[in-house]
Structure 1
Amino acid sequence: MRKDVFNQLKLIKEDISVLNKSELARRFNCDRRTVDKYLNGTNAESRKPRDIKSKIDDFKEIIIDKVDNWGSNSMAVFKFIQKKGYDGGYHTVNNFIQNHKKEEIKKATIRFDTSPGLQAQVDWKESITIISRQGEIFEVNIFLMVLGYSRLKYLKLTVDRTQKTLFECLFQGFKYFGGVPKEILFDNMSTVVDRSKTTFKNVTINQDFKYFSIDAGFEVITCRPYRPETKGKVETLAKLVDRLTPYNEEFDSFDELENIVEVFNYEINNEISQATYEVPFIRFLKEKEYLNPLPPMDILLSYFHHEKEYKVSKESMIRYKGKKYSVPTSYIGKYLTVSEKDSELYIYYTKDLIACHKISEKILHYKIDHAKEILKSDALKHYSDEDIENFIEQNLKNMDIFLEE
């Protein structure tokens, strides 16, 4: 390129109209065609670079399909396309895949700032180990549901992560929020998706969960490939674990641990969110009116609530929520069901009501008639009825026992 010709023509471009191409060629001591070329805009600055075809170009669609739809790694894809005729290097394939994933992450990473009532996200903190005062090891999980707009959170302590537990957690979350978001975003957990029919990018929802979502009135959204964890959720769960660690050897029962989590839930909903710079409870006042109304809750209850059976021990008692309740001795070894209503516990054998106890903080709950039966059948079996009544009056009533007529 004759840069001198090109630069001079730029300097005198306003006066070029008065000069002909032959005159310009004489001035620059060049061929007339050179002047003509530069005047018509054909120069190095406007020249398009040559397209250099890479060895990987013919295989890009195959690579993206195997990575996105099937989760294949770089080496697996490299070996596969070699059989298809690729004769380039592994690093070219690996670099292409890594760049592709970065682009997908950029597309997928959208701030979790949705319009009010639109979306919630669900996550678990799994297998947290914490020790009671008695040295009992509790391995627990934390369910978390967070509303997208207000960042109001619902936390629940669980002992497992089964589908029925997930249904119950969602049920309780809807009650806590007083409504249902229009869509809920889940990780690709096995309790939500049908793993046998799901590929890396094409997700099939588990049939039972699909029916539950229809009855509850929300759409199931699953995480896209490459989608990073939502920062707010991770921070909340990390805080939870941090705040639970000081309670090692500071609680006696699962109920107490549940209460600790409930208090933490209240506290974080009263703290300023790092995402919105507002208090979730206050921001929720605006979001609540946009939630879908609660569905008939008995329909949702049917997905997870089945009467649990409690075996009567040799001491003629059943254990319910860490407390013991007496029943007639004729039911020792049998399985009973319970119903809790208005601070009272109703105990049934088949469909027959056999006992009713007031619920209290006491560990042991005896009906006096049951206590008489139990003592007469075991420890005081050689005593008269009057002696047993005196024993109850002088001993049991002074013990840390809830005793009822």
Structure 2
Amino acid sequence: MRKDVLNQIKLLKEEIDVLNKSELARRFNCDRRTIDKYIKDSSSKSRKPREIKKKVDDFKEIIIDKVDNYGCSSMAVFKFIQKKGYSGGYHTVNNFVNNHKKAEIKKATMRFDTTPGLQAQVDWKESIRMVNRQGEFLEVNIFLMVLGYSRIKYLKLTVDRTQKTLFECLYDGFEYFGGVPKEILFDNMSTVVDRSRTTFKNIAINNMFKHFAMDAGFEVITCRPYRPETKGVETLAKLVDRLMVYNEEFDTFDDLEKIVELFNYDINNEISQATNEVPFIRFLKEKEYLNPLPNMDILLSYFHHEKEYKVSKESMIRYKGKKYSVPTKYIGNYVTVSEIETELYIYYTKDLIACHKISEKLLHYQKEHAKEILKSDAFKHYSDEEIEDFIENNLKNMDIFLGE
């Protein structure tokens, strides 16, 4: 087809009602009958392109069912429909599958991107090794929750990825956002999904997590065949990569937590690649679409239980990487702790048995505990005065916090 001729005829018809066919044939160096045909084509506004049925058309429903519900590959589907009478080629099937996936991803992406307050995504960056100023390695994890419309993010540093930790991270995230999205998308993590009852087609949510979601007021969405893309958004891996510059720039886990908190604030003040806007500013609109915070005490009950600490043979407990002394009669028993501002209170059943000032030092002794510990072991043949002299002249000069 001479598209140049057809296009020119369409333009001329807008200006001239009657066209000189012979003149046009000479101008375009073609037969007069060709001009006549093109004039008729340009006049046919209701003409529809000819529909050509493809061999794959009769098998589209089967292909979509196998790909969407069972995660089958293009080749597996191709071999399957061949046995049902498909006579076309593999590439036709593969192209159809790829186009179908792209269309589904686009739908999911639009849902995630354009609806304020609708959806958040949750992810973990696992087993990150960070080194402090003393050359000690800390293995940590970073939790991320990001709201779809504003792209505002909540990051939290954790030492594990248990279900209780996940509950705590979600709780803190809801408080950070001041509300709850209507649905949250998760990977098929074992803390969310009951793997023993899950198939590709039917994903079973863990009962405890299901109850938490109901109390919080969000719907659990698990990772389906076509997960919404966060196109243009920094991935969690890229965010974590930006934290690597802080290696050897901190001393304790608490220091690293503060670094992550400041980093979280910074990235929410940067222009998002996805929206070309600052998340904090865009969040002003999204916040009003979030579900209100539920009864937070109910959510707190899912993860906040008093942890018990076993008293070691040294008559010490380990809490947040540091050791604190208790009277020797509690060796082998389990105690609980309560941290209030800068003080650590240690209880046996409901009795307060020790109180320590929290510091960055590794070892924390009460003077009386130190005397008991020394007398029960290496200094059992020494007098009280000799033990006290040792404490005054030695322990106070070591990297130990000694309380009265």
In the TM superposition, what whole-angstrom CA distance separates every residue of 1:189-228 from its partner, at most 9, and x where no partner exists? 3433344555556544332222101111223334553234
Give the alignment of 1:12-51 within 5 angstroms: 51=51
1:25 maps to none
In the TM superposition, what whole-angstrom CA distance separates every residue of 1:9-66 from its partner, at most 9, and x where no partner exists? x9x9879xxxxxxxxxxxx9xxxxxx9xx9999x999776665443322222111110
* 1:175 partner letter: E
SS at match of 1:109: helix
Assess, with a 3 A threshold, how the Cα gap between structure 1 residues 179 and 49 changes in structure 2: closer, same or farther. closer
* 1:241 partner letter: V
Higher deviation after alignment, 292-301 or 279-288 = 279-288
Higher deviation after alignment, 195-204 or 301-310 = 195-204
Higher deviation after alignment, 352-361 or 125-134 = 125-134
Higher deviation after alignment, 214-223 or 284-293 = 284-293
2:177 maps to 177
Structure (1 or 2) with the larger CA radius of gyration: 1
2:314 maps to 315
1:57 maps to 57
Give the alignment of 1:2-401 within 5 angstroms: 51-110=51-110, 112-114=112-114, 117-198=117-198, 200=200, 203-231=203-231, 233=233, 235=234, 237-285=236-284, 287-288=286-287, 290-401=289-400
1:169: how far off? 0.7
In the TM superposition, what whole-angstrom CA distance separates every residue of 1:231-275 from its partner, at most 9, and x where no partner exists? 365x15244322222233444443333232222112223333334
**Structure 1: distance between partners of 2:45 and 2:275:** 49
Higher deviation after alignment, 109-118 or 141-150 = 109-118
SS at match of 1:55: coil
**Identical-pair percentage:** 82
1:73: how far off? 0.2
User: Where does structure 1 lack aligned partners over 5 or more consecutive residues?
Assistant: 1-6, 16-27, 29-34
**Structure 2: distance between partners of 1:331 and 1:132:** 34
- Alignment TM-score, normalising by the size of structure 1: 0.79
In the TM superposition, what whole-angstrom CA distance separates every residue of 1:161-200 from its partner, at most 9, and x where no partner exists? 2322211110121222333333323334343334455555
CA contact (8 A) 2:105 2:229 kept: no
Task: List 4+ stretches of structure 1 deviating above 6 A.
Answer: 12-15, 38-41, 43-49
Assess, with a 3 A threshold, how the Cα gap between structure 1 residues 315 and 262 changes in structure 2: closer, same or farther. same
* 2:371 partner letter: K
2:22 maps to none
CA contact (8 A) 1:132 1:252 kept: yes
**Structure 2: distance between partners of 1:50 and 1:307:** 73
Assess, with a 3 A threshold, how the Cα gap between structure 1 residues 383 and 69 changes in structure 2: closer, same or farther. same
What root-mean-square deviation, in Å, do the aligned CA atoms of Structure 1 and Structure 2 show? 3.7
1:401: how far off? 2.6
1:137: how far off? 3.8
**Structure 1: distance between partners of 2:304 and 2:39:** 84
**Structure 1: distance between partners of 2:91 and 2:269:** 50
**Structure 1: distance between partners of 2:109 and 2:116:** 20
**Structure 1: distance between partners of 2:94 and 2:289:** 46
Assess, with a 3 A threshold, how the Cα gap between structure 1 residues 389 and 180 changes in structure 2: closer, same or farther. same
* 1:370 partner letter: H
**Structure 1: distance between partners of 2:362 and 2:184:** 40
CA contact (8 A) 2:153 2:268 kept: yes
CA contact (8 A) 2:109 2:229 kept: no
- The alignment covers a number of residue pairs equal to 378
In the TM superposition, what whole-angstrom CA distance separates every residue of 1:56-112 from its partner, at most 9, and x where no partner exists? 222221111101111100111122122222233222222221222222223222174
1:19 maps to none
SS at match of 2:332: coil
- Alignment TM-score, normalising by the size of structure 2: 0.80
